[in-house]
A and B are shown apart, each in its own frame.
Chain A
């Protein structure tokens, strides 16, 4: 037997005394449903298991699975971590959990309906009014705004943990906008790739049934168009911690991913602002906290919501999952009253108990909490800033006094909770399997006949032994959750509907104005990076030859090119108007133009802007394309930004960078359908490419130089526009200004020429959706036509006529400068026509007290 095999079997697994373990229970004997799995693990051995872990990590990173960490100054996303050892749950046990969660969802739905409806619970004293009314989640404008439908709590999630007696407890309920289901799905996808044999041999319930139910549940909630509702996912944006999941679910479920300013309310209905005009929205799956969803009626400073949304809800023109106001159910004080409410509404005892909770709004409970501060966890009922969960035992006596006073002043704002211990699960840690405390998050969705529970979930374990904090923000590790079936599960595809054999008409998802804007800017950033990379490369090469020979011509042309670099990248003052030292010793400034992330116009700044803009429309990219973006950014960061790197090494990294962008362009050209999205991306590229080329020419050849110097400069221009070989093939002569200008400005067959960019841009603009019919040209069509025609009508020979004394080709300069102005106007007009969502909302409430009395 190989020495490395069987080194991680059960015999090496040491649990803690008195702690319930998922694999061993209390008896210290492997539970039957773990046996086969552990045998398989043992047979694999630690080395192989560790390589599975690494493979999983690689897959997750490449799929772009991330978790944003708030307050990360590097603006970097944290890769999602997955432990290849799943949590196994037997089918018997699962039946209990499933029933418990269904009952709980049923109950919470009734509570929600009452709080925003008749408020019988408050009137009858079954719930103390201050418990509900003092909670931030209670939004009084939402009272009476629930639509008439069977269930209101559409999605629900709960965190479960097992106590030392072996019973499952509910730690908390998530009703606002529960996250994690997408991560659970991604974990499963990766697990079936890294442990395919074990997964196949173990009869594990599939997750797709849940997502099918989710689609159905959302569609059923639509007030209109139930047959074919438009469903969108409302995200706070790419800085949100679980943004990956929003983008992932939107691709997986086929819903548009939108931000607040992609939507608008008109005539009491919600509309999606797209390039094709306004499209009605029927259902919103929201990932924005409810109080941020409507700046008119709720939190007025919010930029994440849609003004008038609540009014649209009130008129039953849109369904929101979950309804605005549903975070009222996340009040921990509610846990103390659930058993009573369960008896009242369902005439049942709770199948899954909650963690023991004492709400301080009651005298007896408050006294108990105050007397037992040391052994309780104290939570404010509101999770707002400045309010934290406190472990009574860990407080100094001064802190304890302060807490005591706070509780006495506003007792209804606090609960005390039992300090529950969790059970441990086997986790792969440093090539060993060790016990770690675990919390299981489950997901539930409303369906026609009741609630459906995802047969699985997201298990999270603490990184350190003895640690109870499993949150992602604190660096916890996730696990797949395998619910074992009695018999093999049928694979359900989300996209297959049996029994129907009709050809569906293809659906084109409308492109939102925001996505259009971002795609356009991805194109612009991309082209900007390419231009400065090429120029930088040319300059670094020139610098090397200058250092090797003493030719004054070389250093003269180098100086011109350095100044051109500053002009083209807009990184003033740079090489312009500074002392001669910088021009003589340009190395430092050149490296700074590559590396500095804090300075606008540098390569790093542009690469970061490119990657962030691309990330904010993550759902627009294929898996391969995204991997390409990720590689570009990550490699640059590792090799150039985080590394000591000299100009020689930089040269190599610049080559790699170009290769990365070529791959990106190739992929997008190959994989994007020629619809509005691609048109936007390519228009951005063409516009920026034109501006950059014009800027380069203005910075290099407008100035008159002696023939030898001019010749050197023209060569550099051709090199950095990737046009030298074409020039040689075409003209087979020395490099001369008229021919260079002709090639770069007017050659319609040369894809780097200005006229080629403008022609493409003109085609794209013609193909963009807009209101037509009056036969007149739109403003953007006029502008591009003018630029294109002006350019074609130019006579190069006239451009470079100049007196012998003149220091510049003034005609050339005025033509190029006029083109620049036209192109900027074109951008303004395009932005106005297609990105008009960028109109910022403003609050129209008086800021000055209006009364005079």
Chain B
């Protein structure tokens, strides 16, 4: 499936801004599920300084600075991406239990190497070894607390019913995703970026960011590595109605690490396993690592912000 994504952000200020510096994570990254053919920025006023790099997580970051006085800043990223219709490889049939995954994530690197060797022998018949698992070491980062995801006993308690003994991890996570979808109400009026998870858990309300953070926190509380994904999902117009340009939005979901397999996607907001309608921008420990656009402006008085996203299917 091929898409063109147009993501525009407009800042308007009540007074002049003399200088602003920004960081954008608005360009889709490449990985086994997708490939980004082209991606460009259209920024007005034109930035005096523009640099691109990959961040610690391998996401594409653009740094840019507007050094002239302005009262209006428009940042548009336009990307063309192909999403391959691949299920996360052996996804539904992966039978490794959550306890096994937890124990392997707890192992030291030396032990890990020994384990990987013995397991890869015993499991080589049932599993293709597409990616050799030095990913296990990297996955450990996603076991730890992060700025917006703090594990707690309450979160572990909520997670507990999904974690039946000896249950395969994939089933555990699917169950957790379904429970979040059923138990929580989608309510954009309830949360802000700063709403703590404890409030989300208590009031059972939130948006996709909250649900992703909640699922991640539940999994980390049980010793499972999980990470936050920022991206888009294609929305289809209701039958008989025209497609509205720019009415789409950013989206967020999460991924879980399964040893010898890799990272599997889950979308608790839609209770779905992302397939070829989820376009990934970036991933990290939580929202703070992958904020699509952030900046610091000097001056400006008060500002208003409007965002429009358009996900257009090309073929």
Contacts and interface: CB of A to CB of B under 8 A. Distances in A.
Interface string A820-853: 0000000000000000100111111111111111
A268 B53 CA distance: 14
Counting chain B CB atoms within 10 Å of each CB, the highest count among A130, A143, A311 belongs to A311
Interface stretch (B125-133, B137-145, B160-168): B137-145
Interface string B55-87: 111000001010100000000000000000000
B291 A845 contact: yes
Nearest to A266: B67
A852 B305 contact: no
B23 A296 contact: yes
Given A129-B137, A307-B296, A841-B298, A851 B11 contact: no
A297 interface: yes
A265 to B, nearest CB: 7
B145 A268 contact: no
Contact of A846 (B18, B19, B153, B193): B193
A366 to B, nearest CB: 12
A273 to B, nearest CB: 11
B108 interface: yes
Interface string A128-159: 11100110000011011000000000000000
Interface stretch (B89-97, B247-255, B257-265): B247-255
Given A140-B56, A845-B294, A311 B188 contact: no
Given A133-B144, A842-B296, A844-B296, A266 B19 contact: yes
A351 interface: no
Given A123-B137, A268-B51, A846-B305, A853 B20 contact: no
Given A134-B144, A307-B296, A125 B51 contact: no
Interface residues of A, number: 46
B178 interface: no
A845 B297 contact: no
Given A134-B144, A844-B11, A296 B49 contact: no
A851 B209 contact: yes
Given A842-B297, A845-B291, A853 B270 contact: yes
B250 A850 contact: yes
Contacts of A300: 294, 296
Contacts of B18: 836, 839
B21 interface: yes
Given A311-B63, A841-B298, A847-B194, A141 B55 contact: yes
A217 interface: no
Interface in B1-42: 11, 18-23
Given A130-B144, A308-B21, A296 B296 contact: yes
A847 B191 CA distance: 10
B208 interface: yes
A685 B125 CA distance: 87
Contacts of B153: 409
B207 A267 contact: no
A840 B303 CA distance: 13
A144 to B, nearest CB: 8
A850 B307 contact: yes
A265 B209 contact: no
Contacts of B298: 264, 839-842
Contacts of A123: 109, 137
Interface in B229-269: 233, 235, 249-252, 269
A268 B291 CA distance: 22
A143 B291 CA distance: 19
Contact of B193 (A267, A297, A848): A848
Contacts of B144: 130, 133-134, 412
Given A296-B23, A850-B249, A853-B233, A844 B110 contact: no
Nearest to B15: A839
Contacts of B252: 851
Nearest to B63: A311
A76 interface: no
Given A133-B140, A853-B208, A125 B193 contact: no
Interface string A410-438: 10100000000000000000000000000
A265 B21 contact: yes
A652 interface: no
A125 B250 CA distance: 38
A844 B22 contact: yes
Contact of B110 (A125, A847, A851): A125
Given A134-B145, A852-B249, A853-B208, A839 B299 contact: yes
A129 B140 contact: yes
Given A129-B141, A266-B49, A296-B23, A849 B296 contact: no
Given A140-B56, A851-B251, A853-B269, A843 B296 contact: yes
Contacts of A315: 51
A125 B108 contact: yes
Contacts of A130: 140, 143-144
A264 B305 CA distance: 25
B123 interface: no
B192 A842 contact: no
Nearest to B291: A845
Nearest to A314: B53
B314 interface: no
A840 B20 CA distance: 12
B51 A851 contact: no
Contact of A122 (B137, B192, B235, B307): B137
Contacts of B270: 853
Interface in A173-194: none
Contacts of A308: 21, 63, 65, 296
Interface string B261-294: 0000000011000000000000000000101011
A380 interface: no
B56 to A, nearest CB: 4
Counting chain B CB atoms within 10 Å of each CB, the highest count among A123, A134, A295, A307 belongs to A307
A143 B56 contact: yes
B300 interface: yes
B225 to A, nearest CB: 11
B295 A296 contact: yes
A359 to B, nearest CB: 13
Interface in B173-199: 188, 191-194
Nearest to A843: B296
B21 to A, nearest CB: 4
A134 B140 CA distance: 10
B23 A297 contact: yes
A842 B303 contact: yes
B63 A845 contact: no
A268 B65 CA distance: 9
A16 to B, nearest CB: 44
A265 B51 CA distance: 14
Interface string A104-143: 0000000000000000001111001110011000001101
A485 to B, nearest CB: 48
A380 B22 CA distance: 34
Contacts of A847: 192-194
Interface string A263-278: 0111110000000000
A266 B65 contact: yes
B210 to A, nearest CB: 8
Contacts of A311: 21, 51, 63
Counting chain B CB atoms within 10 Å of each CB, the highest count among A264, A267, A848 belongs to A848
6 contacts: A266-B48, A267-B65, A311-B21, A846-B193, A846-B307, A849-B192
Given A134-B144, A140-B56, 11 more contacts: A122-B137, A123-B137, A140-B289, A265-B21, A266-B49, A268-B51, A844-B295, A844-B296, A846-B307, A851-B251, A853-B270
Which 10 A-B pairs give the minimum distances between C-beta atoms?
A125-B109, A307-B296, A140-B56, A844-B295, A839-B299, A852-B249, A845-B294, A308-B21, A851-B249, A849-B207
Interface of B: 11, 18-23, 48-49, 51, 53, 55-57, 63, 65, 67, 108-110, 137, 140-141, 143-145, 151, 153, 188, 191-194, 207-210, 233, 235, 249-252, 269-270, 289, 291, 293-300, 303, 305, 307
